[in-house]
Amino acid sequence: MAEAVVDLDAVAHNTRLLAGLAAPRAETMAVVKADAFGHGVLPVARTVLAAGATWLGVTSIAEARRLRDAGITAPVLAWLYGTGDDFAWAVRHDVDLSVSTPQHLEAMAPGAAVHLKVDTGLTRNGVAWSDWPSLVARAADLERRGALMVRGIWSHLAAADDPGNPSVALQLERFSDALAIAAKAGLEPPLRHLANSAGIVDVPASHYDMVRAGLALYGVEPIEGVVAGLRRAMTLRARAVNVKRVPPGTGVSYLHQYVTDRDTTMVLVPAGYADGVPRQLSNRGAVAIGDRRCPIAGRVAMDQFVVDAGDLSVALGDEIVLFGPGDGAEPTVEEWAAWAGTNPHEILTGIGARVPRTYTSVR
Ligand SMILES: Cc1ncc(COP(=O)(O)O)c(C=O)c1O
């Protein structure tokens, strides 16, 4: 009964802004993994492509399949899978594949277009630094024999959202060394890419030939305190399904962890942790009813939570904004993340499958 309203104009604005920062040197990949960070992959993919993104980035081959099944023909890169995945499908459907281990390179289907991922310091995915020289030598050999095509070399930043973090300069240096090692082996692919959202905003040296925009596309500023001018795309809203006046001393929700201290109005919101409202928001978070912020009273349950509306006049069916753009009284997704002790990515991707996504666009 909650609804996630996605402002596609905001997504388009953010895409244009980010692509503008990258241009003219670099093109822009829109990272639409995890159902476009919970916003709905197909409407978002169509919007970003119309607004200037030229590539789409996903994790799994199944996510790439969803794009191709919907008739989206733009270049796609997929980057997370085991060695036994259906690489032949990817080749048949023009989906580029990341290679992060020597074993993946050997498992690639004939004709694959690959982006070799080097671990420059994140220590997550990517070819281990010690394996890089032999991997690029082998990839160059396979390319010479026509077995595959190396279209890209790439890596991922660990801490570009933390300006001044020394890891950024070290990763830039490593990436440059990795490119030199590859060039010596005969590989100078057209797409070198390193920057995520924070890199796009704050580290021009990371832009290379393509940038990969994730969080910022959805309107969350990637660096705290730095305003790039993004617009938050998702509003999570619901309607009051029960309203009751209660006296002081009333215990609210499971275990009565909230007890009223006055006559007040309790409003029931039909969204719970199954919908992505973190339980950590119990007795901690807030929502907006009209132009007022109202605290969450007591435990967030699986399907519902209660809000203390004080003396605000609330009727059954009134709109409640759980989080949104932050133009009015509503909390932002960043505030929700702070209350829940997590990041905005987890809040956005955690919005449950039973919450319908609806779309607004004035175009
Ligand atoms: C490999 C890779 N590149 C780019 C991104 C986009 O990162 P951000 O959301 O910080 O822009 C992600 C997302 O986590 C990623 O996994």
In the chain, what are the domains?
Answer: 8-218 (3.20.20.10), 234-360 (2.40.37.10)
Question: Which stretch of DSSP H or E encloses residue 151?
Answer: strand 148-154
Centre of ligand 1 from the C-alpha of residue 208, in Å: 16
Centre of ligand 1 from the C-alpha of residue 188, in Å: 24
33 in active site: yes
Centre of ligand 1 from the C-alpha of residue 266, in Å: 40
Phi, psi (5° rounding) for residue 287? -135, 175
pLDDT (mean) for 23-39 = 98
Helix (H/G/I), strand (E/B), else coil: 234 = strand
Enumerate the β-bridge partners of residue 20: none
Ligand 1 closest atom vs CA 213: 11
- 244, 265 Cβ separation under 8 angstroms: yes
Split at pLDDT 50, 70, 90, the class of 11 is: very high
- Provide the pLDDT for residue 361: 81
- Provide the pLDDT for residue 309: 98
Q: What angle do CA 323, 328, 334 make, to 5 degrees?
A: 40
Centre of ligand 1 from the C-alpha of residue 216, in Å: 10
Best mutation site among 79, 212, 215, 217 for ligand 1 pocket (most ligand atoms within 8 Å of CB)? 212
Q: Would the CA dihedral through 224, 228, 234, 237 be positive or negative?
A: positive
- 307, 269 Cβ separation under 8 angstroms: yes
Q: What's the rounded Cα separation, in Å, for the pair 283 and 296?
A: 5
At residue 240, does pLDDT exceed 60?
yes
Tens-digit pLDDT profile for residues 35-44: 999 999 999 9
pLDDT (mean) for 83-107 = 97
- What one-character DSSP code corresponds to residue 120? S
Tens-digit pLDDT profile for residues 294-352: 999 999 999 999 999 999 999 999 999 999 999 999 999 999 999 999 999 999 999 99
218 in active site: no
Active-site entry in 81, 208, 218, 254: 254
Both tokens of 171, joined, read: 């990763």
pLDDT (mean) for 112-130 = 97
**For a pLDDT cut of 90, what percent of the chain falls above it?**
99
Closest protein CA for atom 14 of ligand 1: 214
Closest protein CA for atom 13 of ligand 1: 214
pTM tops 0.75:
yes
Ligand 1 closest atom vs CA 33: 13
Centre of ligand 1 from the C-alpha of residue 176, in Å: 20
Active-site entry in 33, 81, 258, 273: 33
Ligand 1 closest atom vs CA 79: 1
Best mutation site among 37, 125, 196 for ligand 1 pocket (most ligand atoms within 8 Å of CB)? 196
Pocket residues: Cβ below 6 A from ligand 1? 31, 79, 156, 196-198, 212-216, 222
Split at pLDDT 50, 70, 90, the class of 55 is: very high
Q: What's the rounded Cα separation, in Å, for the pair 261 and 340?
A: 25
Closest protein CA for atom 2 of ligand 1: 156
At residue 239, does pLDDT exceed 90?
yes
Split at pLDDT 50, 70, 90, the class of 362 is: low
Q: What's the rounded Cα separation, in Å, for the pair 15 and 17?
A: 5
Q: Cα 262 to the chain's mean position, in Å?
A: 42
Helix (H/G/I), strand (E/B), else coil: 25 = coil
Omega before 247 within 30 of 0, i.e. cis: no
Q: What's the rounded Cα separation, in Å, for the pair 105 and 254?
A: 53
- What one-character DSSP code corresponds to residue 127? B
* CA trace torsion 143, 23, 60, 128 (10° rounding): 60
Closest protein CA for atom 1 of ligand 1: 156
Average pLDDT, whole number, for the chain? 97
Tens-digit pLDDT profile for residues 147-192: 999 999 999 999 999 999 999 999 999 999 999 999 999 999 999 9
- Provide the pLDDT for residue 1: 84
Centre of ligand 1 from the C-alpha of residue 154, in Å: 12
Centre of ligand 1 from the C-alpha of residue 213, in Å: 7
Q: What's the rounded Cα separation, in Å, for the pair 290 and 54?
A: 40
